[in-house]
Structure 1
Amino acid sequence: MTDQTSQKILTGPQEDRLFVKLPFASLLAGGLEYFVEHGLQPEICFEADQVNRMGTEQMVPLAQTLRNANLRCTVHAPFNGLDFGALDADRMAWTRQSLDRTLLLCRELAPVTVVVHGGQPRFQSSAEYERWNERALPLLQTTAQQAQDQGTRVVLENICHTRPEQLAPLLEKLDGLAGWCLDVGHWHVFGREPISRWAKILGSRLEQLHLHDNHGGADEHLAVGQGSIEFHQVLGTLAETGPVHTPPVVTLEVPYQTGVEPSLRALAPVWPWG
């Protein structure tokens, strides 16, 4: 990315903290070459069947390609078919194995962060989240500690959470082992509290942003500026309440061939960090 708009957001401490979503299947189908050619850092998104059939040796050439291009990565842990707070023993075993395998692959990839869903899409009520949080805590504690031991960081992403209080207790009980990944698109669709409330409750734990746009009714994953999210207000509020000296890691969850440039152009005039 070499145009002036891209350079405005890719300055100072943000230069190595901007990533773009890249599903692993797309990576294998030419996406990696595209990212290297355009100087994009990937957030590699794995599915459970992928991490469970691959070994670390298959990550070696990928990791080397990124290093040769002076690119880093983040990783999005699998979530389809998994339940970190499952009641069913077999499903919990599959979930645990999938997270373990993800972290095994991360030994070669050395991601900046590992994004883990902080809930289940079917949940809506605070009571459901409270029970799920208690069941999920032991597995997430183990996962976050293992990630920390490997030199990376788990961040929990808001999914269909309607209120920040549904996620806050889980982060509090993890006691610094994990941070918060605010998915702004999810907040716009599912959140029932203003961003100022989310920032007040969770802002001090903000470590990563998933940025994409929508019109409030569905998780469309449009380029920033193509929906109805008021990013100047959202980002400004977060900058006022979040960690002062550490801007968040940013992942653009947009179509990588068509959504990156318009997203950067839309973000440049409203970007509040350094």
Structure 2
Amino acid sequence: MSSPVLWLAGSAPARRRAAALIARLSQSARVLTLGPAGDPAPDLVLGPAPDVTLALEACPPDLRPDALLVLEPNDPPAGAPGLPCPTLAWGGECAACDAPAPADPGAAARALLRAAEQGRAWPWLARVNVNLPLRDLLGRYRRLSATVAVNPEVYIDHQALERLSDADVAQARQAIQSRRVSVHLPFLDLSPGSPDPDIARASLERLNRAADWALQLGAAQAVAHLGYNADTHRDLGEFCRRLGGSFAPLARRLEQGGCRMVMENTFEPGPAVLLAAREAIVQAGGPAVGFCLDVGHAYCFSPTPLGEWWQGLAPQLQEMHLHDNDGSFDYHRPPGCGLVDWEFLGRSLAEQAEPPLLTMEPHAEPDLWAFLRGLEKVWGLPGPA
């Protein structure tokens, strides 16, 4: 059995204070010190504003940490919540860490080694899907998705449609065959409800190709954006009529393949737009599609309070996208790192007879771990499945 890899993060004075601790740990572990330059020099210089997630993203697989010890709980490095391992604070409490470690070097060494051996549980991981671009599923996060039981929401973007093939999709299907799979259809610059028929046609061609791949991947649910903009689509009735004509056959084909389509809010000012779009799809001969409430979008892009969004969409709510922001932009921060009302959302979810699929939208691997910690922070540990 290989020795655990332990990361110790702190300034040069903190590293000096930890000399006895480092000596003890080095007897049974691979110890890497991280932090700003100084004497003693760290094994990895992180610069004057240390961020341990940069080290995580750059390090080879055999140097990924089994545990992190923050040497200065009052001044932790940025990114500690973004590590995939137990994080301990030496001799004190630290909001960025999972638990404290004793100040005594011997006791601290034993606590850190025990944490590294036990690892960290991720109770929310089985309860959520994680947005994962198809290119990354087959590329930079291939190893991660093979070793961590992530339920993917596979994002099929324009780059995937341009660069990948059905053979690549078959590889992805093999990699995630035992997982709960959903798909996010392309949306960037697409306008399936455009008054320009060529733009609408090109948008629908993209969506239909992605729908083919969604069915090949065995997705149970596919998220679509309306492409609505209030300044451009001033006649809501006409927009929904055009959108219904585009979305009805798309949703019907997905449904026939065992995949339900749900519509996500982006720049819509309130739920009325999505409700009208749903009705238009039904009138055009499509199935009664559901909704995906993106709580971050609702908070930063819409003047409508979150409670009104919930009231409008809850009866047909099939999915939620979970991320946070301060209202100024769509930052996709972990839950609890912005101003979204997670207490309201948790209470409202508990009242749902059939809870929607919960999907996190991190944009990098460290965000995944920070999002999982964030859900524990705002909602506690999940109840029985």
Aligned to 1:139: 246
Q: For structure 1, which segment, 32-41 or 180-189, has the greater mean C-alpha deviation from structure 2 after superposition? A: 32-41
Instruction: Show the 5 A alignment for 1:103-252.
Output: 103-120=211-228, 122-123=229-230, 127-175=234-282, 176-240=287-351, 242=352, 244=353, 246-252=354-360
Q: With structure 2 as the length reference, what TM-score do the two structures score?
A: 0.62
1:145-195 Cα distance to aligned partner (Å, 9 max, x none): 000000111110001112111211112343453110000000010222222
What residue is the counterpart of 2:130 in the other structure?
Answer: 20
The residue that corresponds to 1:3 in the other structure is: 120
Q: What is the distance in 1 between the residues matched to 2:320 and 2:371?
A: 14
Structure 2: distance between partners of 1:126 and 1:93: 17
Shift, 1:102, TM fit:
1.0
Deviates more, 1:135-144 or 1:230-239: 230-239
**Larger RCO (CA under 8 A, 6+ residues apart):** 1
Aligned to 1:253: 361
Residue-by-residue CA offset, 1:101-136 (whole Å, 9 max, x unaligned):
11211232011211100333x435884444322211
Match in the other structure for 1:59: 169
Distance 2:184 2:235 in 1: 24
**Larger Rg: 1 or 2?**
2
C-alpha separation in 1, matches of 2:227 and 2:165: 28
Unaligned runs of 5+ in 1: none
Please state how far the C-alpha of 1:249 moved relative to its aligned partner: 0.8
| Structure 1 residues 66-81: aligned runs within 5 Å | 66-67=176-177, 70-81=178-189
Report how far residue 75 of structure 1 moved.
1.1
Which shifted more, 42-51 or 71-80?
42-51
Deviation track 1:37-64 (CA, whole Å, cap 9, x = no partner) reads 1211222212235325644333111101
2:146 pairs with 17, 36, 39, which one?
36
- Kindly indicate whether the alpha-carbon contact (under 8 Å) linking 1:148 and 1:177 is maintained by their aligned counterparts in 2: no
Larger proportion of helix? 1
Stretches of structure 2 that go unaligned for 5 or more consecutive residues are 1-83, 85-118
| Residue 94 of structure 1, aligned match among 199, 202, 208 | 202
Q: Distance in 1 between matches of 2:248 and 2:238?
A: 16
Which of 373, 377, 380 pairs up with 1:265? 373
In structure 2, what residue type is equivalent to 1:247?
P
Q: How many angstroms apart in 2 are the aligned matches of 1:76 and 1:52?
A: 16
Q: Aligned residues, how many?
A: 261
Change in CA separation of 1:205 and 1:239 when aligned onto 2, cut-off 3 Å: farther
Residues 82-109 of structure 1: per-residue CA shift (max 9 Å, x gap): 1111122221221121111112112320
Q: What's the offset of the Cα at 1:228?
A: 1.5
Secondary structure of the residue that 1:114 maps to in structure 2?
strand
Asked whether the 8 Å contact 2:334–2:370 carries over to 1, the reply is yes
* Residue 258 of structure 1: how far off its partner (Å): 1.2
Contact residue 193 and residue 226 of structure 2 kept, 8 A: no
Is the CA contact (8 Å cut-off) linking 1:225 and 1:262 kept in structure 2?
Answer: no
Distance 1:205 1:124 in 2: 27
Amino acid in structure 1 at the alignment position of 2:169? M
| 260-269 vs 57-66, greater mean Cα deviation | 260-269
